[in-house]
A and B are shown apart, each in its own frame.
Chain A
Amino acid sequence: MDWIPLVYVGGVTVLFFFWIYGIASFALDLKNKILPGLRQYWRGRKRRTAESEEEREREERERQLY
Chain B
Amino acid sequence: MARVTLDHVTKRYEDVVAVNDMNLDIKDGEFVCLVGPSGCGKSTTMETIAGLTKPTEGTIHIGDTDVTRLPPKDRGVAMVFQNIALFPHMDVYENISFGLRLRNYDKEEIDRRVDEAADVVQLEGMLDREPNELSGGQQQRVAIARAIVRNPDVFLMDEPLANLDAKLRVHMRTELQRLHKELDTTIIYVTHDQAEAMTMSDRIAVLNAGELQQIDPPLVCYNEPTNRFVAGFIGSPSMNFVEGNVVENGVETDNFEVGFDPAGIPSLAVGDQVSLGIRPEDVYLVDQIEDPDAPHLTDRIDVRTDVLEPMGDEIFVYLLLEEDQETSMEDQGMAGQLLMSVTPDTEIEGDEDVDVVLDRSKIHLFDTATGEALAHGVADLTGIGSEPAAGEVESDS
Judging by beta carbons under 8 Å apart, are A61 and B52 in contact? Answer: yes
Min CB–CB distance B294 → chain A (angstroms):
55
How many of A's residues come within 8 Å of B, CB to CB?
Answer: 7
Contact with A along B94-136 (1 / 0, CB 8 A): 0000110010000000000000000000000000000000000
Judging by beta carbons under 8 Å apart, are A66 and B146 in contact? Answer: yes
Q: Is B50 positioned at the interface, with any CB of A under 8 Å from its CB?
A: yes
Judging by beta carbons under 8 Å apart, are A61 and B71 in contact? Answer: yes
Judging by beta carbons under 8 Å apart, are B71 and A66 in contact? Answer: no
Q: Is B147 positioned at the interface, with any CB of A under 8 Å from its CB?
A: yes
Judging by beta carbons under 8 Å apart, are A62 and B102 in contact? Answer: no
Judging by beta carbons under 8 Å apart, are B102 and A65 in contact? Answer: no
Residue of B nearest to A63 (CB): B102
Q: Is A39 positioned at the interface, with any CB of B under 8 Å from its CB?
A: no
Contact with A along B51-92 (1 / 0, CB 8 A): 110000000000000000001110001110100010000000
Complex Cα–Cα for A34 and B77 (A) = 51
Judging by beta carbons under 8 Å apart, are B71 and A62 in contact? Answer: no
Complex Cα–Cα for A63 and B51 (A) = 12
Residue of A nearest to B78 (CB): A65
Within 8 A of A (CB), among B145-196: 146-147, 156
Judging by beta carbons under 8 Å apart, are B77 and A65 in contact? Answer: yes
Contact with B along A41-66 (1 / 0, CB 8 A): 00000000000000000100111111
Residue of B nearest to A59 (CB): B85
Judging by beta carbons under 8 Å apart, are B51 and A61 in contact? Answer: yes
Complex Cα–Cα for A32 and B78 (A) = 53
The answer to whether residues A66 and B52 also contact, given A61-B71, A61-B72 and a CB cut-off of 8 A, is no
Judging by beta carbons under 8 Å apart, are A64 and B71 in contact? Answer: yes
Residues of A within 8 A of B146 (CB): 66
Chain B interface residue bracket vs A: 10 to 19
Complex Cα–Cα for A58 and B79 (A) = 14
The count of A-to-B residue pairs whose CB atoms sit within 8 angstroms is 35
Complex Cα–Cα for A64 and B78 (A) = 8
Residues of A within 8 A of B147 (CB): 65-66
Judging by beta carbons under 8 Å apart, are B73 and A66 in contact? Answer: no
Query: Quick one: which of A61, A62, A66 has the most chain B CB within 10 A?
Result: A66
Complex Cα–Cα for A22 and B146 (A) = 68
Residue of A nearest to B50 (CB): A65
Residue of A nearest to B80 (CB): A65
Complex Cα–Cα for A66 and B156 (A) = 11
The answer to whether residues A66 and B50 also contact, given A61-B71, A61-B72 and a CB cut-off of 8 A, is no
Residues of A within 8 A of B99 (CB): 66
The answer to whether residues A58 and B52 also contact, given A64-B73, A65-B72, A66-B98 and a CB cut-off of 8 A, is yes
Query: Quick one: which of B72, B102, B146, B156 has the most chain A CB within 10 A?
Result: B72
Judging by beta carbons under 8 Å apart, are A62 and B51 in contact? Answer: no
Min CB–CB distance B167 → chain A (angstroms):
27
Complex Cα–Cα for A65 and B78 (A) = 5
Residues of B within 8 A of A63 (CB): 98, 102
Min CB–CB distance A53 → chain B (angstroms):
15
Complex Cα–Cα for A63 and B78 (A) = 10
Residues of A within 8 A of B102 (CB): 63-64, 66
Query: Quick one: which of A58, A61, A65 has the most chain B CB within 10 A?
Result: A65
Complex Cα–Cα for A58 and B72 (A) = 11
Complex Cα–Cα for A58 and B102 (A) = 17
Complex Cα–Cα for A53 and B146 (A) = 26
Min CB–CB distance B159 → chain A (angstroms):
15
Complex Cα–Cα for A66 and B81 (A) = 9
Residues of A within 8 A of B52 (CB): 58, 61-62, 65
Q: Can you spell out 15 A-B residue pairs with CB atoms less than 8 angstroms apart?
A: A61-B52, A61-B72, A62-B81, A63-B98, A64-B73, A64-B102, A65-B52, A65-B77, A65-B78, A65-B79, A65-B147, A65-B156, A66-B78, A66-B85, A66-B146
A-B contacts besides A65-B73, A65-B156, 18 pairs, CB < 8 Å: A58-B52, A61-B51, A61-B71, A62-B52, A62-B79, A62-B81, A63-B102, A64-B51, A64-B72, A65-B50, A65-B51, A65-B78, A65-B79, A65-B147, A66-B85, A66-B98, A66-B99, A66-B102
Residues of B within 8 A of A (CB): 50-52, 71-73, 77-79, 81, 85, 98-99, 102, 146-147, 156
> Lowest 6 A-B CB distances belong to which pairs?
A64-B73, A65-B79, A64-B72, A66-B99, A65-B72, A61-B72
